[in-house]
Structure 1
Amino acid sequence: MPAPATATLVSCNALVASLARSGRPADALRAFRDMLARGGLPDHFTLPPVLRSCALTGSSALAASAHALSLKIGAQGNLFVASALVLCYSNLSNLADARRLFDGMRERDAVLWTSMLSAYAQGGQPEEALRFFQGMVATRVQLDAVVMVSLLLACGQIGWRRHGRSVHACCIRRFQGMPLSLGNALVDMYVKCGEFAFAERVFAGMPRRDVISWSALILGHGLNGRPDVALRLFDEMGAEGVKPNSVTFLGALSACAHSGMVDKAYAIFKGMKQHGVEPELKHYSCMADALGRDGRVVAAVKLIEEMPFEPDEAMLGGVLAACRVHGELEAAERISKKLMGMSPAKSGYFMSLANIYSDAGRYSDAERIRGFMKEVKVDKLPGYSSVEYDVSVSKSRF
C-alpha cells in the first residue's frame, strides 16, 4: 500500500495533468495552488502540466514561479521538466531563455532536442530551426515524426521547397505508412512553397484526413488565387462530414474575396456560428477585403467600425488600398488617420494618402503630406528580395 502522502501526490498529479490536457489550464493551475496550500510538495511529474498550463494562460509570471519551484526542489535537471520548461518559454515567445535552459543541461535526450527544435520552428525562426537540426544530426539524435513535422514547418515558413522535398524523401524512407500529423505537415509545407500539385498528391494519398488536412489545402488555394478549387474543396469537406474550423472558414472567405464573390462570402460568414465557430478578427478582415475589392468601400468601413474587435494595420491597410482603387477619398482620410496613429513612423501610409490625393487632383494636399513626412523625419523604407541558394537566404536591397 502506498503511503497516504504518496497517494495524495499521485491523485493531485493526475488531476492537474487531466485538466491541462482537456483545455482547462486555469483550473489546472488552481488545483496546483490548492495542492501547495495543503502543504503538498510537487515532483517532476507535477511540473510539466503546470508549465504547459502557464504557457496556455500566457502568464510569464506564473511560468517564472514554476521555474523557481523546479530549482527549489531540484527538478530542473530532470529531462521531462527541462523539456516542459523549454516549450513553456518558447510558447511565451521567450526563445532566449529556452535556449539558455537547453544549453545548461548536462544531459540531453531526444525529447529535449525535439522540444528546442519545435520551439524555433513554432516561434517563427526557421533559419535557427534548420541550423539547430544540423546539430541534432551531428549529435546523432534519433529523428522521429515530431522532428520531421518541425522541419517541414520551418521549410514552409521560409519557402525552401528543395529542402522540404528532401525531408519528404527522408520521411518515405524512415516511416512505414504516413502518420496523420506528418501528412498534414507535408500538405502545409507544399502549399506554403506554392507546390500545389505535390500538396494535392500527398493529400490524396493520406490514409486518413482530418480538418487540419482539408483546411491547409483550402486556405492555400484561397490565399493564392485559386478560389474555384478552394470552394470546391470546402463543399467536398462538408459532404464528407468533416466539421470546419476557424482556419477552414478563413480559407473559404479568402477564396471569396479573391474572386469577388461577396454574397457567397456573406453566406459563409453567417454560417460560421451554425458550426459553433465564432468569427475572429481575421474573418472580419476577409469580409472587409471582399467588400473593398468589390468597390463597397463604405460598407467595409462600416463593418470595421461595428465589429467587436479593434482593427489591425493589415485590415485597415487593405481597405485603404481599396479606397485608392475606387476613389473613396473621405473613407481614405478616415482610415489613414487611424493608421498614422497606430504607426506614425511607417512611411507607406503617408505615401498612400498622398497618392490618393494626387489621383483626385488635389496636388497641394499631396505635397502637404510629403512635406509633413520630411518635417517629422519619416523616410520611405527600401524594399528587399530573398533568393534561395544552398542552405542560406541572400537578401538583395532595391
Structure 2
Amino acid sequence: MMNQTKSKIHYGWIIVLLTFVTLLVSAGIRSMPSVLMIPFQEEFGWSRGAISSVASIGILLYGLVGPFSAALLLRFGIRKVVLLALSVLGASLAVTPLITSLWQFDLLWGVVSGLASGMMANVLGITVSNLWFVKRKGLVVGILTASAATGQLLFLPLIAKVTSDYGWRYAMYAAVVAILVVFILVALWMKNNPSDVGAAPYGTTEVVKPEPFRGNVFLTPIQSLVTASKNKTFWLLAGTFFICGFSTNGLIGTHLIAACGDFGMMEVAAAGLLAMMGAFDLFGTTISGWLTDRFDSRWLLFWYYGLRGLSLIFLPYALATTPYMLVIFSVFYGLDWIATVPPTAKLAGETFGKEKSGMIFGWIVVAHQIGASFAAYGAGLMRDWLGSYSQAFFIAGLACFIAALFAIRIQRQLKKQTVLM
C-alpha cells in the first residue's frame, strides 16, 4: 500500500486516472451501437427504428441505475462495484457475436450492457470527487466527465475500422480485451477512500474515515428522490439535463454516423467526426470544470445550451454541403458536448449537500438518459418516416434554447431560496 506521506502525488489523482480510464472504456463501448447500426441493418435486415429501440433501452437503463449505483458505491466501495460492473459488461460483449435475433440484441445491449455501464457513469465521477477531494472538485468532475468523449475519441474510429475490415464480431472481441485490461488495473490500484492509504482528502490535512453507509441501497435513493422532488431547483436541473441527453448521446451519439451515411460518407470517416468531437470535448469539458470552480454555474449553462442549439440547427446545412462544414460543426459542437455536467453537478451539490448530492445527481442523470432515450428512438423513427434526420436535429436545437432559459430560471429560484432562508 502506498504511504501518502512518502508520495509527492496525492493518491486521489491516481484514483482520478483509474476512474478516467474506466469511464473512458465504458463510454466507448456504450457508443458502439452507432457503428453497428448499418452493419446490423445489412446483415439481419432490421430497420433503423428497431435498432434504435435497443440503443434507447440501453440509454434509459444506463441512467436509471445511476441513483442506486451511488448508494452501492457508498455501501460496498468503489473497487467492488466497478469490478462487478466490468465483469458483467465484458460477459455481455463476449456473448453478443452469437446473436441471431433482435430480442437477443435487446437483452444483451438494451438491458445487461445498459445496467452494467450505468454503474460506471457520471455518478462514479461525482462519488470519487466527493470522497477524495475538498478542493478542485469542479476540475475533477470536468476531467472525469470528459472521459466519455475521450472514449469515443479512442474507440469509435478503431471499432469502425475493425468492423469495416474484419466484421463487427471482431470489434466486440477487441472491446472485451479493453475491458480485461481495465479490470486488472482497477483490481490492483483502486482504493475506496483516502483513509485506505492513510491520506486526507485533497485540499485538507485531516485523515478521517468516512461514516459507513447505513441506509438501504434500494430505498435510500428513492427517499432522496422524494426529498429532492419538493425542490423546484431539482426539476429545473432535471429539465435542462433531459434536453442535454436529448441533444447529445441520444441524437448525435446514436445517429450521426447513419446520418452521414445518408449523404454518402463512409462509416470510418463519419466515426472520425465523432472522434473529433471527443477530442474537442476533452478540452471543452475540462475547461468547463475549471470555469465551474470560478464562475456562476447557471450562466455557464445558459451559454452552453444556447451555443449547442445554434450548432444543431446548423448541422443539416453542414450535412448537405461540404465535409469542411461538418468539420466546423464537429469542432464547435464538440467543445460543448458534455460541458454541462460540471456546473450541473456543482448546483446539485450546493442545493442538496455533499451527502445526498451523489444520489440526487443520479436522479438528474436519469432525466438526461430519458431525454437521450427519446431522441435515440424518436430520431430513428423520424428517419424511417421522413427519410431524413434534419427535422430531429432542428427540434433538438430549439430544445436547447429552452434549456438555456431554464438555466436562468435556476438562478432566480436560488435567489428566492436565499432570501427565504
TM-score (norm 1): 0.23
> Comparing both structures, which one devotes a greater share of its residues to helix?
2
Q: Which has the higher contact order (CA 8 A, sep 6+)?
A: 2
Q: TM-score, normalised by structure 2?
A: 0.22
